[in-house]
């Protein structure tokens, strides 16, 4: 096991599922989770990408299984949970996978793919035997809080993430402690080149911290919220945006 520089109080070997672990924010959460001693079920629709992440964790001395899966599909979710069970019972879940806002999607279908898939994965997980002290984090966006953005479905889906998180935190807290992270603009492959574009430059100029977020910025906040250190935080959303939205 990698000697963790920080542990956040996690029990080494506890199992986390990260959806969309093949790229960007999900990839960073998977890698940092392994560094704090968690065993990682790395899920993604992109099989080569998620195999590479799991291989990287194992090469560094951690435990991981790559689970190629589309989180909108019940059979694939069930198969990914079966594969993850090789690591042990799942204590933590990060619902991170979702379509990029640039995707050309019809409204109803897009909501099913983004917020609907989070609910689907969570319900599959919570129906199975699991340890005490389960926690999850759903990845929302400042597009669901303060920033109006195109296309129509994206801010609707991201606002829905927070509403549903509050539902879980109120009505299903006996099963899982639930919180959300709302990233601001984050330097991931889907944002490639954006910071250097004229629009990107204008936006970065309005971010008090003066830069885009990094995937690790989102990963550390997510892991803190999952951790025992945050055991009294339930139904909250942490905005991680360098102060962008409060400066609007």
Ligand X SMILES: NC(=O)c1ccc[n+]([C@@H]2O[C@H](COP(=O)([O-])OP(=O)(O)OC[C@H]3O[C@@H](n4cnc5c(N)ncnc54)[C@H](O)[C@@H]3O)[C@@H](O)[C@H]2O)c1
Instruction: By CB under 6 A, name the one of 84, 96, 122, 234 that touches ligand X.
Output: 96
- Establish if 236 lies at the interface with ligand X (CB under 6 A): no
- Establish if 12 lies at the interface with ligand X (CB under 6 A): no
Active site residue 154: yes
- Cα–Cα distance, 241 to 221 (Å, whole number): 11
Contacts of 47 (CB under 8 A, 6+ apart): 66, 68
How many residues sit close enough to ligand X to count as binding (CB under 6 A)? 29
- Establish if 221 lies at the interface with ligand X (CB under 6 A): no
Beta carbons within 10 angstroms of residue 12's beta carbon: 12
Question: In the complex, what is the shortest distance from the CB of residue 182 to ligand X, in angstroms, rounded to a whole number?
Answer: 7
- Establish if 185 lies at the interface with ligand X (CB under 6 A): yes
- Establish if 144 lies at the interface with ligand X (CB under 6 A): no
Question: In the complex, what is the shortest distance from the CB of residue 157 to ligand X, in angstroms, rounded to a whole number?
Answer: 8
Residue whose pair of structure tokens reads 């879980």 in the numeric block: 168
Q: Tell me the two tokens of residue 199.
A: 């629009």
Q: Tell me the two tokens of residue 9.
A: 């109080």
Instruction: By CB under 6 A, name the one of 14, 16, 18, 26 that touches ligand X.
Output: 26
39-44 vs 64-68, strand pairing mode: parallel
Q: Tell me the two tokens of residue 225.
A: 């919220």
Residue range at the interface with ligand X (CB under 6 A); choices 9-17, 24-32, 127-135, 162-170 = 24-32
Residue numbers annotated as active site: 154
């Amino acid at each position: 096991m990698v000697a963790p520089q920080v542990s956040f109080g996690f029990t080494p070997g506890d199992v986390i599922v990260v959806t969309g672990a093949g790229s960007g924010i999900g990839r960073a959460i998977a890698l940092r989770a392994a560094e704090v001693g968690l065993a990682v079920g790395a899920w993604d629709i992109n099989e080569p990408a998620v195999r590479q992440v799991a291989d990287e964790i194992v090469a560094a001395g951690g435990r991981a299984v790559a689970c190629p899966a589309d989180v909108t599909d019940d059979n694939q979710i069930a198969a990914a949970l079966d594969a993850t069970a090789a690591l042990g019972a799942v204590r933590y879940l990060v619902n991170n996978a979702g379509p990029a806002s640039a995707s050309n999607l019809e409204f109803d279908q897009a909501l099913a793919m983004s917020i609907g898939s989070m609910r689907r994965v969570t319900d599959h997980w919570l129906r199975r035997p699991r340890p005490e002290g389960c926690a999850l984090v759903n990845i929302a966006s400042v597009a669901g809080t303060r920033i109006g953005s195109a296309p129509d479905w994206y801010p609707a889906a991201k606002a829905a993430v927070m509403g549903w998180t509050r539902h879980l935190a109120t009505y299903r807290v006996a099963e899982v402690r639930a919180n959300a992270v709302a990233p601001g603009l984050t330097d991931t492959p889907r944002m490639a080149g954006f910071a250097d574009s004229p629009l990107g430059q204008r936006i970065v100029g309005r971010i008090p911290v003066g830069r885009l977020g990094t995937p690790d910025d989102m990963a550390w906040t997510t892991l803190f919220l999952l951790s025992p250190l945050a055991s009294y935080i339930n139904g909250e959303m942490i905005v991680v945006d360098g102060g962008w939205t409060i400066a609007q």
